[in-house]
Chain A
Amino acid sequence: MTTYLIRRSFYALIVMWAVATLVFFMLRAVPGDPLQAILFDVDPGAAEELKQHLGLDQPLYVQYGLWFRNLFQGDLGNSIYGSRIAVSRIISEAFPRTMSLAALSFLVALILALPAGIVSAVRRNSPLDHSLTFAAFVGLSMPDFWLAILLILLFAVNLHWLPAIGYTPFSRGLWPWLSHLILPSIAVGTAFSAIMARMIRSAMLETLKMDYIQVARSKGLVERAVVLKHAFRNALIPVVTVMGIAFALLMAGAVVVENVFAIKGLGRVLIQSILNRDYPVVQGAILVVSAIFVFSNLVVDVLYTVIDPRIRIDN
């Protein structure tokens, strides 16, 4: 287990190194040199200073070394716009917003998927199961940003129940924070809940066929106990394996949906900086978003071995 953990963490580090290297070289290998575009935007006096600041007057391998040295010190450079705010600060401000959104979206997905998945499995091939299947297809096929627009149209524009855009930090109170995140979370969580409901359904159908379920039934347990205590718990194992995917999908969804609701999270920072050609911010945002994926994959792989001991033996 420990060796697996160490090996898996080592692998995660390698992936991060590869991503950081790719980011470094890609932004320098682009035709038209995007860094030149930065220099073009500011006045000539500042251009020289910026060039020195970014280390562009150094040979490539020195730049590469500097890039990693700064990275380890948490220095991601500065935005090229306005007051040249530190990228690390932009990102640390954006981070809690994206995490709040991702966490709430996950909650939304769970609330929708758990009952739907269990009911579809227990009432298999009933009209209810068929309508839930259809709903899952629709949920999967709906672009999250469109769902976001529909939600704004209904709950903000027409009903005035919830704010249409913006974000309020948790420190200003639970409801202001929550009210701004409800619609975005539904927009992000719906597609994932469709996937999760289908996974729970098929996992439940598998476990319901098992001998121990028959034993539980013949012991005289009520069906509710059989389903919830025995079948559901074991059905959760395959579901946990998709948690990493879950998180990746939620993050990808958040990147888009944050832009609809004007929430200045990582996604909005990433997209805005791409549109503004603010390359230091683009680099920082790509690195942090990637780190989140790599880290969540690591956590899920470790979690999986904890839940299912067979993996440990295999490795």
Chain B
Amino acid sequence: MARPVTPLSPQVTRDPAEHTPPARKGRLRWLRFLRNDKKAAVGLIILLVLTLAAIFAPLVSPYDPSAMAFDFLESPSLQHPLGTDDLGRDLLSRIIYGARISLFVGVSTVVISMVIGIGLGLLAGYYGGWLDNLIMRYIDLQWAFPNFIIAVYLVAVLGTGLENVIVAISLGFLDDFARITRGMVLSLKEKEFVEAARALGASDARILLNHILPNSLAPIIVQATVSIAYAILAEAGLSFLGLGVKATTPTWGLILSDARSFISRAWWLGVFPGLAIMLSVLSINFLGDTLRDILDVREQHEASS
């Protein structure tokens, strides 16, 4: 199938002329981008705050996220900065605890799908033949469906719960990583340095892991960043639909889902949890865009499969 772009990781493309010139060599070269790229800096700060809040949730959240009180549906105030829900639970505390699940699911799903996807891509690209055919036919099959729909299907079969949600979402991203890796392997495996390694008697595993993989990382890293953003959206979507992790855990999607019956009386319940989702996804997308520029990854890497 002729497909010039990755279907489910919509990428904001930039024309090459806009690429910032490579920074001069220096000790903190990798941090320089923050000075030139305001949105990357903003993204990094938001992400840091969210991550720290998630890690230290018991310390920073003003209340126990599931402690009920008689302050039902109280609008934002000094006691409850983001208001309370229908059971009198503090919304800010619930959102802080919700960050734990969202970020954990986002990162763990992408790690899983990245490891498996890279593995499949390396095998398919390096060995070719029937193995390549088999793997790529499967990838093509998956390619025809949006990741979120695949996740919904899998939860339909596996049931809800944290582990199942992670499995369901991570399977959806496999194809992106497999395709990118395979494309990189195909473009690298005839290169001189690979030939040299082979001539020196390196094993296939050594060639793949020590020579080809490190040189394929740039587009994979960019894809991973974008995928984390989509995994967070997918987890929120599943939770919102009632297909997410267990109902006692406050997740951003679940808080929003519960809020639906009350938003006419309590706007804050409908606004803040979604804002948390959007800010985390937005900051990751900002970082992803900057990484794409720094690592100089263009669309053709992904299209070269």
Contact = CB atoms under 8 A, between A and B. Distances in A.
Interface of A: 15, 18-19, 26-27, 30, 34, 125, 133-134, 136-138, 140-146, 149-150, 152-153, 157, 194-195, 198-199, 201-202, 205-206, 238, 241-242, 244-245, 248-249, 251-252, 255-256, 259-260, 270-271, 274-275, 282, 286, 289-290, 293-294, 297, 301, 304, 311, 314
A232 B285 CA distance: 28
B15 A241 contact: no
Interface string B259-291: 110011001001101100110011001100100
B158 interface: yes
Given A143-B236, A248-B149, A301-B2, 9 more contacts: A30-B159, A138-B278, A140-B281, A141-B285, A153-B263, A241-B3, A244-B7, A248-B7, A259-B241
Interface majority SS on B: helix, strand, loop or mixed?
helix
Contacts of A18: 141
Interface of B: 1-5, 7-8, 10-15, 18, 39, 141, 144-146, 148-149, 152-153, 155-159, 229, 233, 236-237, 240-243, 253, 256, 259-260, 263-264, 267, 270-271, 273-274, 277-278, 281-282, 285-286, 289
A306 B43 CA distance: 42
Nearest to B5: A242
Nearest to A199: B13
B7 A27 contact: no
15 contacts: A137-B12, A137-B39, A140-B281, A141-B281, A142-B281, A143-B236, A143-B240, A145-B237, A146-B256, A149-B256, A157-B263, A202-B15, A241-B5, A245-B7, A297-B144
A255 B144 contact: no
B242 A275 contact: yes
Contacts of A241: 2-5
Nearest to B13: A202
Contacts of A244: 7
Given A30-B157, A202-B15, A271-B241, A293 B144 contact: yes
Contacts of B285: 137, 140-141
Nearest to B229: A141
A27 B153 CA distance: 10
Contacts of A311: 2
A134 B141 CA distance: 34
A311 B3 CA distance: 11
A205 B13 CA distance: 11
A245 B145 CA distance: 9
A245 B8 contact: yes
Contacts of B18: 125
